[in-house]
């Protein structure tokens, strides 16, 4: 199965060219054919519309396999965590693994043929029947979870997200829905979101002393 690869970039960060070269090498290494396109992101509005969280952003069939919860759309250079440290592009091995995982996903999911308890249980039954239960992880952050700690999407039961990422997605959706609103609640949530983005960009949530209370506080903020 081939994979559509879209490299989103802006000219201020040259790492996108390295990413483009590595995608081609990773495709050959993984044995996964790819159709590669590039998109030059030139405005904050385009960054928000495309989910562009820095250059380069690499989409596989429209999804970002390296997405980081809390990252906000921005015309900025993006860094990736690799075995060798933070760099401007995923490694060839990381890209090959992402391509292989994407190519192995089924194009569609038929209905489950046996009953399951609850909505998420029904989604899990579909995934289990089609061999997707052997490695349970959040599609957003990539961390491993038990089935009971994941929520599956109704029309794409192969997609499962953890509670933390579901909360982040909910915030993104609410932010998009409230764009331009001037109600006190909307303005408060925008202020909180702006502060959260600043904390995330500075990496304060990972500081040994300051990080834990910040993360606990974040769970109670809109």
73 by DSSP, 3-state: which? coil
Tokens linked to 131: 């061999």
Tokens of 32: 């996964």
The reported pLDDT for the residue numbered 123 is 46
Beta carbons of 23 and 34 less than 8 angstroms apart: yes
In this model, does residue 149 exceed pLDDT 60? Answer: yes
Higher pLDDT, 14 or 5: 5
Please write down the HEC assignment for all residues of 85-150.
EEECCCCHHHHHHHHHHHHCCCCCCCCCCCCCCCHHHHHHHHHHHCCCCCCCECCCCCCECCHHHE
Q: What tokens does 91 get?
A: 């490694």
- Evaluate whether 159 touches 140 at the Cβ level (below 8 Å): no
pLDDT tens-digit series, residues 158-176 = 688 888 788 777 777 777 7
Q: What is the pTM of this model?
A: 0.51
DSSP letter (8 states) at residue 78? -
3-state class (DSSP) for residue 169 = helix
Torsion of CA 176, 180, 184, 189, to 10 degrees: 30
Distance from the first to the final alpha carbon of the chain? 40
pLDDT-derived band at 154, boundaries 50, 70, 90: low
Nearest-angstrom CA–CA distance, 40 and 197: 24
- Res 90: pLDDT: 96
The reported pLDDT for the residue numbered 157 is 67
pLDDT number for residue 114: 36
- CATH code of domain 3-103: 3.40.30.10
User: Quick check: 55 and 77 in contact, CB under 8 A?
Assistant: yes
Mean per-residue pLDDT over the chain, rounded: 79
Radius of gyration of the chain (CA): 19
Confidence band, pLDDT 50/70/90 cuts, at residue 156: low
Domain boundaries, the chain: 3-103, 107-177, 180-222
* Spatial CB neighbours of 111, under 8 Å, sequence gap ≥ 6: 126
Count of residues in the chain:
222
Angle at 87 between CA 212 and CA 36, to 5 degrees: 115
Kindly state the average pLDDT of the residues 16-34. 95
pLDDT, tens only, 44-80: 888 888 889 999 999 998 889 998 888 888 899 999 9
Confidence of residue 147 (pLDDT cuts 50, 70, 90): confident
Question: Are 204 and 210 within 8 A, CB to CB?
Answer: yes
pLDDT in tens, 94-103: 999 999 998 8
Lowest mean pLDDT among 25-29, 109-113, 186-190, 207-211: 109-113
């Amino acid at each position: 199965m081939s994979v559509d690869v879209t490299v989103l970039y802006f000219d201020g960060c040259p790492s996108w060219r390295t990413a483009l070269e590595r995608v081609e090498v990773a495709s050959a290494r993984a044995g996964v054919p790819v159709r590669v396109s590039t998109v030059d992101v030139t405005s904050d509005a385009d960054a928000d519309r495309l989910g562009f969280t820095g250059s380069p952003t690499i989409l596989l069939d429209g999804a970002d396999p390296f997405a980081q919860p809390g990252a906000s759309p921005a015309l900025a250079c993006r860094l990736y965590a690799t075995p060798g440290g933070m760099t401007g592009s995923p490694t060839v091995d990381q890209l090959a693994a992402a391509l292989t995982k994407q190519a192995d996903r089924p194009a569609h999911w038929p209905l489950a043929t046996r009953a399951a308890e609850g909505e998420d249980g029904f989604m899990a039954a579909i995934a289990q029947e089609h061999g997707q239960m052997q490695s349970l992880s959040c599609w957003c952050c990539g961390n491993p979870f038990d089935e009971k700690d994941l929520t599956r999407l109704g029309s794409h039961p192969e997609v499962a997200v953890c509670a933390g990422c579901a909360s982040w997605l909910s915030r993104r959706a609410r932010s998009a829905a409230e764009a331009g609103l001037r109600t006190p609640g909307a303005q408060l949530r925008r202020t909180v979101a702006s502060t959260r983005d600043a904390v995330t960009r500075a990496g304060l949530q990972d500081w040994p002393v300051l990080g834990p209370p910040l993360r606990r506080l974040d769970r109670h903020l809109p």
